[in-house]
Amino acid sequence: MPLQVLPLSVSDFEQLVHHADFGEPGDDCVAPPNPVAWPVTTRSEAQLRARCAFSLQKRRLLCDPTVHFLKVVDKKEAGSNTDEDDIIAVARWHHYPQGYEYNLEATWEMAPETITPLLPYMIDETSDSLLSSYPPPNFNLALHNYILSERDAFRSQWIPQQKPCWLLMHLATRPSNRMRGAASLLIRWGLAKATEANEPAYLEAGATARPIYEKFGFKQVGELRKLDLGFYGLDAYFELSNMKYNPQEAISNGEPTYL
């Protein structure tokens, strides 16, 4: 059946969490940097990660007025065994009519050191075992917060201050449903909004994802950034490409637009 983009509702978080109950561990819509900072190899590890990660996302949907949270659903055929459409991808676009301000936005992405701040947003009842197991040994919480704080703090150096813009912060497709065009639908949605408002769109992409965004007209701003993860126990770098889509430039150059 055709894929469809729809607004994500609070009730959808239950399905997103329960993706971790089936299939391979990690076959869910948990977004980076979690696969690096919180790798999972068992179902119970994936279940805990999904519950915590989507509690953070639920809080943001409920409390952050800049959020436009979207889902891509695989519509069920008539006569299917279930009436619920499968969510195969999600994205979180933000609109900042007055411009992006790091000082106001910095705390949203940080994972808490205890489970307590997430309890009001937890999906399903919270057990004592969950309370006592967070953060689990496989979650490098300091690494998670380092990557996101470095990403967000640098925005003041490449995103113009007090200028209206759109910002894509979260995009994830279930690994078992990749290569079906879901991510493209979510990217196009945001670019249509940016073009309609005649405002730029920004994002940070990993080095491997950069060519995908370039196909949609995003261009890299400045040099590729490499965050050294050695201090946090990994002999690796986390690469970030700062990217901008300028609808005026796209129209002037005869490039595809997304209205």
Return the pLDDT at 53.
95
Q: Which residues pair with 242 in a beta bridge?
A: 204
pLDDT digits (tens, 9 = 90+) for 54-93: 999 999 999 999 999 999 999 875 555 566 789 999 999 9
Burial class (CB in 10 A: 0-12, 13-18, 19+), 39: middle
Distances 43 to 26, 90, 138, 231 between C-alpha atoms, Å: 8, 21, 13, 29
The dotted CATH code for 3-252 is 3.40.630.30
Return the pLDDT at 80.
56
**Ranges 131-135, 139-143, 159-163: which has the least confidence:** 131-135
**Is it the case that residue 1 has pLDDT exceeding 80?**
no
| 224: DSSP letter | P
pLDDT digits (tens, 9 = 90+) for 95-119: 999 999 988 888 888 999 998 898 8
pLDDT digits (tens, 9 = 90+) for 31-55: 999 999 999 999 999 999 999 999 9
Return the pLDDT at 212.
93
Q: In whole numbers, what is the pLDDT of the chain averaged over residues? A: 92
pLDDT digits (tens, 9 = 90+) for 207-256: 889 999 999 999 999 999 999 999 999 999 999 999 999 999 998 888 87
Return the higher-pLDDT residue of 259 and 12.
12
Return the pLDDT at 104.
86
Judge whether 219 and 244 are in contact, CB under 8 Å.
yes
Return the pLDDT at 259.
75
Mean pLDDT of 10-32: 94
As a whole number of angstroms, the distance between CA 125 and CA 60 comes to 20
pLDDT digits (tens, 9 = 90+) for 149-159: 999 999 999 99
Pairing mode, strands 225-228 and 237-245: antiparallel
Q: Where are the domains of the chain?
A: 3-252
Distances 39 to 118, 187, 246 between C-alpha atoms, Å: 20, 26, 35
In 10 A of CB 172, how many CB atoms?
A: 22
Peptide bond preceding 135 in cis form (omega within 30 of 0): yes
pTM, two decimal places:
0.93
As a whole number of angstroms, the distance between CA 206 and CA 90 comes to 17
